[in-house]
Structures are given as C-alpha cells and as structure tokens.
Amino acid sequence: MADDSRGTAAGVDAEAVHGNEWARFLLLAFVGLPVAMTALIAAYGFIVWFLQILFFGPPS
Amino acid sequence: MKTLFAFIRRLFLRPSARIGLGVLVTGGFIAGVAAWAGFNKAMEATNHERFCISCHTMHDNLLPELQKTVHWNNRTGVRARCPDCHVPHAFTDKVARKMQASREVWGHLVGTIGTREKFKEHRIVLAQREWARFAANGSKECRACHDYKDMDFERMRPTSQVAMRNAATRNQSCVDCHKGIAHQLPDMKGAHNPAFDTLVSAAAGQRVEVGTAYFTVVPQDIFADEALSTRIGALEVAAKVKVLETKGDAQQVELALWRKNKGYGRVWYGHFGLNITSAVLDKAIARDDKFVTVLESKEDPLTGLEWQQVAAKAWIRKGSLIDSVEPIWTIARASYSTSCSVCHRQPDEAHFDANTWPGLFGGMVGFTSMDGDTAKVVLKYLQTHSSDFSTTQHGAGAPDATLQTARP
C-alpha cells in the first residue's frame, strides 16, 4: 500500500487494477491458457485431418 | 472486440505490481502441469473402451461381434480394446483421428446408423474407410502386438507358413488378408453397392452431345420406341454407345458391337473374338433385319466360329451415360482388390486373357460378398484389363503367389 496510490484518480484506478491482479493471474493460468491450449491442439488436429483428406491420404 | 484486444494487451504487457515474479512463475508452472495432466486424462478417457461403447451404435452392433472373437477372449488373457486397433498411437495422427470423430458425433446426432438395419447397410462404407487406413499405414496398430520380426514361422501350421513368410518378405499389411477378423464382414449379397451412387449422380449431371460415344453406368433396359414402352433387351454396365438424339426422357443410341453368328445371336460383345458382354437382346428382335444391320463377318481362327459386326439403334432412359469409363473401373478395381485378397493374393489383371477370366471369376465370386452388379463390373474390368488389352508383361501375379489354399 504505497502512499502515492491513494487519493488521486490515477491511484484509485491503479488500486482497482492491483486489487484484481490475483484474480486475473489465476483466471489466465488456470482457465484462459488451458482453454487456449485445448483449442490450439484441436485446431492442429483438424488441420492435419483436412490435409489428409485433401493431399496426404490416410497416415502411412 | 477492440476492448478485448486492449484487455489482452494490458494483461500481457503491463508488469505485475503486487505479485512477486517467483510466485507468478511457480503459479504458472503449477497451472501448466495441471493443464497438461488434465489434457492427458481427457485423451485417455476418450480412448477407453467404456467411452467407445457408451454410444449405443457401438454397444449394440460392434461389441457383440467382437465378443465372439479371439481378440475379446482367449487362453492367454491378452486382449485388444477398441482404440488399440482403431485409434493411431502416435500423437499427431491420434489428435487428427479424434477430430475426425466429430464426423461420428454428427452421424450419431442425425442418426446415420441409428438402427441395426441402417448400420448393416452402411457397414461397407465404414469398413472400406478403415481398410483404406490400414492399407496406408501397413496395419500399424495390428503390428503393435503382432509384428513379423517377432513371429516364429516354424511354429505355424505349414500352410500358414507359406502365406506368412511371403507376407513378411513383402512387408504386407495384415488387413490385406485378415479382413473381418474382429467384426463381421459387410454383407453385400443382393445388397446395393453405395459406390455406384456417385456414378449415377455423375451420370445425371453429364452433358450429352449428339454423335459422341458414352458408357452406361448401370445395367439397363433398351427399347424399340421413344416412349420406352417396348422392351427389346438390356445393356450391361460400361457398354459403349453413341448418342443419336435426346427426346424428353428418352435417348436414342447406336450400338456397334459383335455377335457370334450362331443360334439367335442374342448376346452382343464389345470386341471381335472376346466374350465381353455388352448387350443382351430379346429373341424376337435379335434376328430382325429391320433392326439389326450386319456390317462385317469374320471367322475367329481359334474357335472356327463366325463373328459378325452388327449395328442397331435403340432407345434408353436419359441420364445413365458418362463420358469416361475410368470412374467405373476405379470402383471395380477397389472391389477387386478388397474382395479377392481376403483369401489369396489376387492375380494381376493381365495374368489371364479375356476369355479365361469369366470361368475363373465365376468359380471364385461365390466366396466373396460382392453383390450381382458389382460382380458384373469387376468381371468386365478384369476382361478389359486382361492380357488381350495389356501391353505390359504380367509380373506381380506369379502363380505360386496367387494359388494358395483358402483361409478356413
């Protein structure tokens, strides 16, 4: 709780940001990134499948 | 959208003011481990027999069949589960296969194979898809357990030894021969081969020009009149005809074929001296000079029979002609290579001549599950790709490789 973060408008804003820093960290680490990872792997799977349909044929 | 980007930008670029770097990294590390463990858990859960048979199609149709085979129950207690054979084991192919399963989920939702009857009818499509996969990867999943390098050929039955040693030298895919080893083979007798559907729809969209030659995609009747009321015979599949005119639903075509000048001369062939049937006429019309024009007569030196080149005009129903015969042969080739290799290695098409194939094929086709139409197409394919038409020396189908005792 540094002194300069109180009183001014910028301070209130910064306080609000700092206050939910933990919430944002946990949300990103345990929800956001795992969802993004799953989505990327699924997209990778679909791309490989479509390439198999169009060019490669079934995996050898 | 813009605010979302701004939010993500701030989230990643503004340094943390309250949480220590170590805590962030440790937290991220733990979250990463947890996420990867969860991902693997999900991959494993969806790769389990319980998961496969939780869908009623699998539970009602495929499980009871597997339960009758050695892959379910045997004296050593080693058993194969659905994904052991049907899901690739390597990461990339596995993920691709799991995404491909979205098609199966869709099929489940719309009920493509919702009932036993629908399943049996669709089975050939599913089987061919899986056979193609095994053919491409050399039955990799089978060979996770049964690999040639670990086989003791000495301990096999002598008849099996011959086949297995040959297969091992060629590094042949297991499913080339062992089809229907864990599930019933698709029953195609009297059934309809869905591969023909694509041909029929291609023929329906075919632009037909007068004076050009086309091929029939399905066996069909021919008529004397444009109203299609007087039937005078039938055309076989892949018969070559020349289109003369189109009127409403009917098309007038010209047949220019060969026949043996003997008896009624009802059966018309595509080539001189070769028994490749293209059309069969009714008795009443076959000797009618008003209908049939004889263009040329020639004696076949091998049989002493007189062959006549004949021409006739007839009407057919519109929409069953195609400009290239190749799509028909593609279907025939697929049927030939899947059906005939179940028991033995199929001979090269050019290993026999066109007049030898019908006898051989007729003797063997009863052991396969081909329906009538497919059998006709395959025979015609074999005849038109036989040694009479091939310019290359037949190679692959040496007799010792092809003539083996059938699998019990």
Q: What is the mean pLDDT of residues B324-328?
A: 89
Would the CB atoms of B99 and A24 count as touching at under 8 Å?
no
Phi and psi dihedrals of B214, rounded to 5? -135, 170
Q: Under a CB-based contact definition with an 8 Å cutoff, are residues B347 and B402 in contact?
A: yes
Please report residues of B whose CB lies closer than 8 A to that of A58. Answer: 132-133, 135-137
Residue among B372, B374, B362, B368 at smallest CA distance from B340: B368
Would the CB atoms of B18 and A58 count as touching at under 8 Å?
no
Q: Under a CB-based contact definition with an 8 Å cutoff, are residues B387 and B351 in contact?
A: yes
Q: Count the residues in chain B.
A: 408
> Is the pLDDT score of B114 beyond 80?
yes
d(CA B364, CA B361): 5
Would the CB atoms of A25 and B24 count as touching at under 8 Å?
yes
Chain B: closest CA distance from residue A46 (Å): 6
Chain B: closest CA distance from residue A36 (Å): 11
d(CA B62, CA B53): 9
Q: Under a CB-based contact definition with an 8 Å cutoff, are residues B297 and B316 in contact?
A: no
Chain B: closest CA distance from residue A33 (Å): 9
List beta partners, residue B134: none
pLDDT number for residue B344: 76
Would the CB atoms of B93 and A59 count as touching at under 8 Å?
yes
pLDDT number for residue B379: 92
- Which residue is listed with tokens 């306080």? A15
| Residue predicted with more confidence, B140 or B16 | B140
> What percentage of chain B exceeds 70 in pLDDT?
93
Q: Under a CB-based contact definition with an 8 Å cutoff, are residues B96 and A57 in contact?
A: no
pTM of the predicted model as reported, rounded to 2 decimal places:
0.56
What the block records as the tokens of B274 is 């070769």
Q: Count the residues in chain A.
A: 60
Please report residues of B whose CB lies closer than 8 A to that of A48. Answer: 92-93, 95-96, 99
Please report residues of B whose CB lies closer than 8 A to that of A57. Answer: 136
Would the CB atoms of B31 and A38 count as touching at under 8 Å?
no
Sign for the pseudo-dihedral over CA of B220, B222, B228, B229:
negative
pLDDT number for residue B194: 67
Query: DSSP characters for B114-146?
Result: -SHHHHHHHHHHHHHHHHHHHHHTTSTTGGGTS
Q: What is the mean pLDDT of chain B?
A: 85
Taking CA atoms, what residue in A is nearest to B18?
A18
> Is the pLDDT score of B378 beyond 80?
yes
d(CA B208, CA B102): 39
What the block records as the tokens of B51 is 């998961």
The domain segmentation of chain A, as residue ranges, is: 14-60
Q: Under a CB-based contact definition with an 8 Å cutoff, are residues B82 and B58 in contact?
A: yes
d(CA B213, CA B270): 13
Please report residues of B whose CB lies closer than 8 A to that of A24. Answer: 11
Q: What is the mean pLDDT of residues B367-372?
A: 76
Q: What is the mean pLDDT of chain A?
A: 77
- Non-local CB neighbours of B298 within 8 Å, separated by 6+ positions: B272, B306, B307, B308, B309
ipTM for the whole predicted complex goes beyond 0.85? no
Would the CB atoms of A58 and B16 count as touching at under 8 Å?
no
Question: What tens digit of pLDDT does each residue of B43-96 get?
Answer: 999 999 899 988 888 888 888 889 889 999 899 999 899 999 999 999 999 999
pLDDT number for residue B372: 79
Please report residues of A whose CB lies closer than 8 A to that of B93. Answer: 48, 59
Chain B: closest CA distance from residue A8 (Å): 18
Chain A: closest CA distance from residue B8 (Å): 10
d(CA B238, CA B216): 5
> Any idea which of B19-23, B32-36, B346-350, B397-401 has the lowest mean pLDDT?
B397-401
Would the CB atoms of B136 and A60 count as touching at under 8 Å?
yes
> Any idea which of A11-20, B94-103, B188-197, B243-252 has the lowest mean pLDDT?
A11-20
Question: What tens digit of pLDDT does each residue of A21-47 get?
Answer: 888 888 889 999 999 999 999 999 999
Q: Distances in Å between the alpha carbon of B346 and those of B171, B173, B251, B341, B396? A: 16, 14, 39, 5, 9
> Is the pLDDT score of B395 beyond 60?
no
Of B14, B16, B98, the CB nearest to A45: B98
Query: DSSP characters for chain A?
Result: --GGGSSSHHHHHHHHHHHTHHHHHHHIIIIIHHHHHHHHHHHHHHHHHHHIIIII-S--
Would the CB atoms of B39 and A41 count as touching at under 8 Å?
yes
**Residues of B at the A interface, defined by Cβ within 8 angstroms:** 11, 14, 16-19, 24, 27-28, 30-32, 34-35, 38-39, 88, 92-93, 95-100, 132-133, 135-138
> What percentage of chain B exceeds 90 in pLDDT?
27
Q: Which of B10, B18, B106, B129 to mutate to test the interface with A (most CBs of A within 10 A)?
A: B18
Q: What is the mean pLDDT of residues B12-26?
A: 88
> Is the pLDDT score of B103 beyond 70?
yes
pLDDT number for residue B405: 39
> Any idea which of B120-134, B179-193, B210-224 has the lowest mean pLDDT?
B179-193
Q: Which of B93, B105, B171 to mutate to test the interface with A (most CBs of A within 10 A)?
A: B93
| Residue predicted with more confidence, B310 or B406 | B310
Phi and psi dihedrals of B309, rounded to 5? -85, 125
Question: What tens digit of pLDDT does each residue of B258-304 get?
Answer: 998 888 888 999 888 888 999 999 888 888 888 888 888 888 888 88
